[in-house]
Structure 1
Amino acid sequence: MPELPEVETIRNTLKRFVLNRTIKNVQVYWGKIIKNPDDVEEFKQLLMGQTIHDIKRKGKFLLFELDDITLISHLRMEGKYSVHYKDEPVKKHTHVIFEFTTDDELRYNDVRKFGTMHIVKKGEEYTQKPLIQLGPDPFDKEFTLDYFYKKLKSTNRSIKAVLLDQTVVAGLGNIYVDETLFKSSVHPLKKANKLTKKEVGEIRKQAILTLEEAVKQGGTTIRSYVNSQGEMGMFQQELSVYGQENKECPNCGKPITKMKVGGRGTHVCLNCQKL
């Protein structure tokens, strides 16, 4: 699944190609992706004639800011955007095409068909679903140590489960949670309300640093992830524990263990991250 760094990479890449493009027509081949409005024809009509002025991100969501509406897109498992000339063949699993008044178009491809699109009135993005449910982004000024510590103290769930909860902090997924907890020397099963403020501060710091580095390197190549130009991310070369089962821990040399936490595959060094 594309996580925050991958979505940020997609955002930055798309901005180079689609800003100031005006949408002439929209083709929808899989209507279940469209969540708001619930009528596909209305969705198409709302977008036609609109110009893309900016692309923002909140957690794992992309926000296409147009004239008076915002298109909110979540890629879920394998959603991808790419820009093509109109005469290029349309690939299998392409479900939405935004045709511009120029000779190119933006295509949304999704093998799993899990992605979602919402249209909301511009300026109301954060006051309604789906964004109203999200916690602060790790890069937001609202993601303070006091906020984070208070949230963790209020639950006896495992720290991994809390970090994956998008209502607490938006954008962290399985890959970067495992990496963050390893760098913080915290076991993923440790109860969130049992963490000291020093430990919470370290987790917060390492989450931000890990994501910043991943953004610099264009995200993580896991399975089929590519950015909107078809380029593979490079952060996989920097992963310490995720996907490293039975390999040596880079800190102590003990084997990395894979376990289940809340139904999610979790990678941990049991020597460095003691429970």
Structure 2
Amino acid sequence: MGRTSKKLHAKLSRGGLSDLPTGKTPRHPDTPDIEAWIRQGMDPVHAAYAFVQHVTSFFAEGTSRLPEMKKYAHLVAKAEDEYMPSGPPMSPLTGSFFTSWAFYDLPFDDGDTLASCLIESNDVVGMNPDQLDALKKMAASRMGVYQHVGTDGPHVRLRELVTNAESVCHPTSGYRGTIGELWYVRLLPPLLPDLAQYHVAFTTPYILMAGQNEWSQFLRRALAGSVNDATGLHRLFKHGPDPNYWNEFVFKAYHHHRSDAIFLAGIPDLKATLPHA
């Protein structure tokens, strides 16, 4: 944890969440009911992650006006103005893609993220151990490029480029795709793995129209000089060469969309291949 998370924790410990400007806390009456979501047909692992995302959103909204979070709030506000996240047709950046970046990937000050601040302050917030475990998994997650290699019942099998790690995934948007497609998506690992063995494709999938060879060549260029491919890949997709690198790619690469998937053309470091460069 960095300096900001420790300062924020100290402040919240003295005053509690009742001091937050919005007056909202994770126990706010508008907090969703996971069981109701599941009764309505939502996958239970997805529902658990979505609940923690909701708690994190409350925390972000409340703390972003505090002086300790001034730099974070400025970075997010600037990106919101630039990319107008909402999903097509207004912007190719979906809400789930942008908020996941803002909560779990965007570093500020000495390496803190919004998620690290919430984890540090959980003795004030009061998430239970399972919810805290889900938050830590979300904080460690990242986007990645995966090849569709088939289906497994209602799930999709995705194999990551470079690492070749294969995952069985629940596609939350409902998009099942076709074998051979490349997906740019954030996978979250199983919760309580003795009960569920599948990952959750948490964001609406971005379907990459450039071929596997082109993306493999890009990744080799991007990872050149990396001591460990897996570590380099994590750093590339988590933080990019700069914080808005992947926001910029999605914005410039948009080609078309359907209700459950968004299609992107081009390669990030080849400007001439991007439709809106």
* Range into which the TM-score falls when normalised by the shorter chain: 0.3 to 0.5
> What is the TM-score with the length of structure 2 in the denominator?
0.32
Higher relative contact order (CA 8 A, sep 6+): 1
Structure having the larger proportion of residues in strand: 1
Tell me which protein shows more helix as a share of its residues: 2
Instruction: Please say which structure displays the higher CA radius of gyration.
Output: 1
TM-score, with normalisation over the residues of structure 1? 0.32
